Amino acid sequence: MSDVIKDLSELRLTYEKGELHEDQVDTNPHEQFLNWFNLALTAKLHEPYAMSLATADDKGRPHVRTVLLRGATEAGYDFYTNYDSQKGLDLAANPYAEILFYWAELERQVRIGGYVTKISLEESTDYYHKRPRDSQIAAHISTPQSGVIESRELLQQRFQALHDRVEQQSELNKPEFWGGYRLEPQHYEFWQGRPNRLHDRLSYEKVDAAWQIRRLMP
């Protein structure tokens, strides 16, 4: 049995890789996001498009998980999932969510919150057919997502059965229960780690049709 860490109070890092000043950021938060996101891509970080998605159900109970960003425009930030999943059920009851990007190597994170709606059937279908065939099959057999299944072997059997059945088909139809969502941003927060825990935090809040930038206490 491995040793149990009893005291975590001494585990800490110092952040010294950057600064974040109001006169250095774009006045448009989406453009500022793209600036940081493209730097993360250029730095070849591991899945910089991975983001934590936080939702809450109709009783206010939160749920968070990691999903992949699959579209980013000023209109919003897109991800895809099973509509009958926990996140799908949450969003049907409470269509407000937050996404969080954390790029540890750059000592940066970005929070984006806003209202979430389903994207069009055409967009969902187009993206579905861009996915690898095995991912398309997995979307069909992994339902209800988050539902209980007896074993890994049964999951593999379901996958293989559908794989064999559609092997000769040139195209696999998108499941009705699967598709995309778009988070329309209402606020952003950009965080840059700094020494002594005096981190830089800049928020963008939508005021009428303009974005207002504020510095937040660390």
130-158: per-residue pLDDT in tens? 999 999 999 999 888 888 999 999 999 99
pLDDT at 12: 85
Any domain includes 100: yes
Element (H, E) at 157: helix 152-165
Q: What is the pLDDT of residue 63?
A: 98
pLDDT digits (tens, 9 = 90+) for 58-111: 999 999 999 999 999 999 999 999 999 999 999 999 999 999 999 999 999 999
For residue 187, pLDDT over 90 is answered with yes
User: For all residues of the chain together, what is the average pLDDT?
Assistant: 94
Q: Tell me, what's the pLDDT at 161?
A: 94
**30 located within any domain:** yes
Numbered residues of the known binding site for substrate: 12-15, 70, 127, 131, 135, 197-199
> Which pLDDT does position 8 carry in this prediction?
84
Evaluate whether residue 183 is within a structural domain.
Answer: yes
- Please name the helix (run of DSSP H) or strand (run of DSSP E) that holds residue 138, with its range, or none: helix 133-141
- Checking if the pLDDT of 2 tops 80, the result is no
Binding site, by residue number, is 12-15, 65-70, 80-81, 87, 109, 127, 131, 135, 145-146, 191, 197-199, 201
Residue 60 lies in a domain: yes
The pLDDT assigned to 97 comes to 98
Quote the pLDDT of residue 183.
98
* Annotation: binding site for FMN: 65-70, 80-81, 87, 109, 145-146, 191, 201
Q: How far apart are CA 101 and CA 157, in angstroms?
A: 35
* Measured distance between the N- and C-terminal CA atoms of the chain, rounded to whole angstroms: 39
Domain containing 83: what range?
Answer: 15-131+177-215
pLDDT at residue 179, rounded to an integer? 97
Residue 182 resides in a domain: yes
Q: Which of 117, 70, 71 is nearest to 92 (CA)?
A: 117
Does the pLDDT of residue 5 top 60, yes or no? yes
Return the higher-pLDDT residue of 209 and 152. Answer: 152
What's this model's pTM, rounded to 2 decimal places? 0.93
Q: Is 206 contained in some domain?
A: yes
In a domain, 154, yes or no: no
pLDDT on residue 1: 54
pLDDT of residue 136: 94
Rounded to 5 degrees, what are φ and ψ at 161?
Answer: -65, -45
pLDDT beyond 90 at 168: no
Beta strand extents in the chain (DSSP E only): 50-56, 62-68, 71-73, 76-82, 96-103, 108-118, 178-192, 200-207, 210-215
Band of residue 208 on the pLDDT scale cut at 50, 70, 90: confident
Residue 218 has pLDDT above 90, yes or no: yes
In this structure, what DSSP letter does residue 193 have? -
The domain tally of the chain equals 1
Is 167 part of a structural domain of the chain?
Answer: no
Place of tokens 């207002």: 212
| CATH code of the domain covering residue 202 | 2.30.110.10
Cα 112 off chain centre by: 10
